[in-house]
Amino acid sequence: PSIPCPSLLPSIHASIHPSIHPFHPSIHPPSIIPSIPSIPIHPSIPGTLSPSWKRFGKNNVILSDIRKPADNVFYSGPFIFADILDYKNLREIVVNNRITWLFHYSALLSAVGEANVPLARAVNITGMLHNVLDIAAEHNLRLFVPSTIGAFGPTSPRDPTPDLCIQRPRTIYGVSKVHAELMGEYYHYRYGLDFRCLRYPGIISADSQPGGGTTDYAVQIFHDAIKTGKFKCYLRPDTRLPMMYIDDCLKATLEIMEAPAEALTMRTYNISAMSFTPEELAQEVQKYVPELEMSYNVDQVRQAIADSWPMNFDDSNARRDWGWKHDYDLAELVTTMFSYLGSDSRIAQAN
């Protein structure tokens, strides 16, 4: 059995009285769960596919997006176009492919969401609520939705930030992610939806371009260091944020999805690996590109967002409940990034 396209769910009409809601157990017979979990993956978190392919087989993983994927992704396994806002098409895809697991990654990130609030609201809330949740519940899917450090705000404890505390984010991105967390947990407790959610730190990978978030600098610095030997950072040098290498992110995501339900005391968990400032990251990068020149031109919008986010994450519940532990710290991250990208900057080559 194959897997559904990621992030799309037809909405079950909210007007239906809860007692006869289509996925109320008495109404909705449990869907057939194939022997192999089938997983829809969104290509946006780079590298997402390979661990899933390894684990479940390429033909059991369907990738979708509204953007054309890179050739190496497109020709590596099933890919389909799917607009998270096109409910009818998505429902057909989910039913025709007999989906059992769904990883929903579509979203507009923090900075790009502030620049287009109506679109962020449509994709991050309408797409998430009126599609992803509804079809997951209607078809008894196991659903993963990533949340973020951005789901906290200036009144949350910042150092460290625990799983359970005040969440009053000041971005449409953060508000939409708290909405996803709360609605996913409501559907779990009210209707038995197997909803699982991780609050990711800033995710860093070598094989993708940043997607318009506040932590993008931690990806861009590697590309600029190699290309020009210069990097202009839009955050202050002392801005500390939780970060994670992509392999740890994907490991945690598969682990939470495969964890036995009885091990989960929560449905939404913080996960953490490291926290660093632009200054600390630059010092580590300069061990590979000594000629790197750092400069700072603070972007007030993204600085204000970063100043409202956690500085350090408390992920003790994830480590206790399902054995989470990270593999990459800052030194490991930088070594791995340069092993992938190469560290001979153009300047060094010219010299």
Ligand X SMILES: C[C@@H](O)[C@H](N)C(=O)O
Ligand Y SMILES: NC(=O)c1ccc[n+]([C@@H]2O[C@H](COP(=O)([O-])OP(=O)(O)OC[C@H]3O[C@@H](n4cnc5c(N)ncnc54)[C@H](O)[C@@H]3O)[C@@H](O)[C@H]2O)c1
Q: Which of 173, 187, 191, 328 is catalytic?
A: 173
Which of ligand Y, ligand X, none sits in contact with 214, Cβ below 5 to 8 A by type? ligand X
- Inter-residue long-range contacts of 69-77, CB under 8 Å, 24+ positions, other chains counted: 69/43, 73/43, 73/49, 76/49, 77/49, 77/53
Instruction: Verify whether residue 340 is a known catalytic residue.
Output: no
Question: Shortest approach of ligand Y to residue 27 CB, angstroms?
Answer: 29
Cite the DSSP H helix spans in the chain: 49-56, 71-74, 87-96, 110-115, 117-121, 127, 134-138, 172-191, 217-227, 246-258, 278-285, 300-307, 316-321, 330-341, 346-350
SS3 category, 55: helix
Stretch that binds ligand Y, among 195-203, 233-241, 252-260, 273-281 (CB under 6 A): 195-203
Contact between 182 and 199 (Cβ < 8 Å)? no
Helix H or strand E segment including 194: strand 194-200
Applying the rule CB under 6 A, the residues between 135 and 164 that interact with ligand Y are 146, 148
Question: Shortest approach of ligand Y to residue 306 CB, angstroms?
Answer: 13
Write the binding mask 16 to 55 for ligand Y: x where contact by CB under 6 A, - elsewhere. Answer: ----------------------------xx----------
Question: Shortest approach of ligand Y to residue 122 CB, angstroms?
Answer: 8
Binding site for ligand X (CB under 6 A): 109-110, 148-150, 173, 202, 213-215
Question: Shortest approach of ligand X to residue 304 CB, angstroms?
Answer: 13
Please identify, using beta-carbon distances, which residue of 53 and 345 lies nearer to ligand Y: 53
Please identify, using beta-carbon distances, which residue of 83 and 332 lies nearer to ligand Y: 83
Q: CA 176 to CA 167: how far, in whole Å?
A: 12
Applying the rule CB under 6 A, the residues between 61 and 80 that interact with ligand Y are 65-67
Phi (first) and psi of residue 32, to 5 degrees: -70, 125
Which residues are the active-site residues?
A: 173
